Amino acid sequence: MKYLIAGLGNIGSEYENTRHNIGFVVADILVNELKGEFETQRLASVSKVKFRSKTLVVIKPTTYMNLSGKAVKYWLQKEKIPIENLLVILDDIALPIGTLRLKKKGGDAGHNGLTSIIETLNTTVFPRLRIGIGNDFPRGYQVDYVLGKWTKKEEEILTPKIHKSIDIVKSFVAIGIDRTMNLYNNK
């Protein structure tokens, strides 16, 4: 059984350690824990790792956030992975910093990466793990905020939550989305 784990972010050193790239951070740590390595392939950096005898195809799209759907669709089709075995990991300004929310479906909540995936796959029904980055920015400064670097205080809050995100991904693969949602949402 195969799973596609898509951590969203933007490529390039100028985007490293920015709030918008938390999906890349989770993907990096997951692959590292499972002793894998990324290599640049079509539309994404890709790593194939094993967890509990299942194959995880972990991608970090190289298309930039606004075209994430191209990479997700390509790798779902190439690896013949059913959409219910897709897990998208992304930042969410609507959630307080450090809040983790696993969902089976939903809208894009104004997130351009999610918009691209929804439009490309033509459905809102696919699992996603939203990681709250908060919304502590003045009106009109959302782009500056999401593309801004983490503060020391934010890193202290998020570091344990990133590791909990890894647990959520592993649980999703091991026991499915419903049981994982019951275990981790609202905790």
Spatial separation of the C-alpha atoms in residues 181 and 168, rounded to whole Å: 9
Active-site choice (20, 60, 73, 130): 20
For residue 52, give Cα distances in angstroms to 34, 100, 128, 150: 11, 23, 21, 33
Spatial separation of the C-alpha atoms in residues 44 and 109, rounded to whole Å: 24
SS3 of the chain: CEEEEEECCCCCHHHCCEHHHHHHHHHHHHHHHCCCCCEEECCEEEEEEEECCEEEEEEEECCCHHHHHHHHHHHHHHHCCCHHHEEEEEEECCCCCCCEEEEEECCCCCCHHHHHHHHHHCCCEEEEEEEECCCCCCCCCHHHHHCCECCHHHHHHHHHHHHHHHHHHHHHHHHCHHHHHHHHCCC
Does 20 qualify as catalytic in the annotation?
Answer: yes
Q: Which residues are catalytic?
A: 20
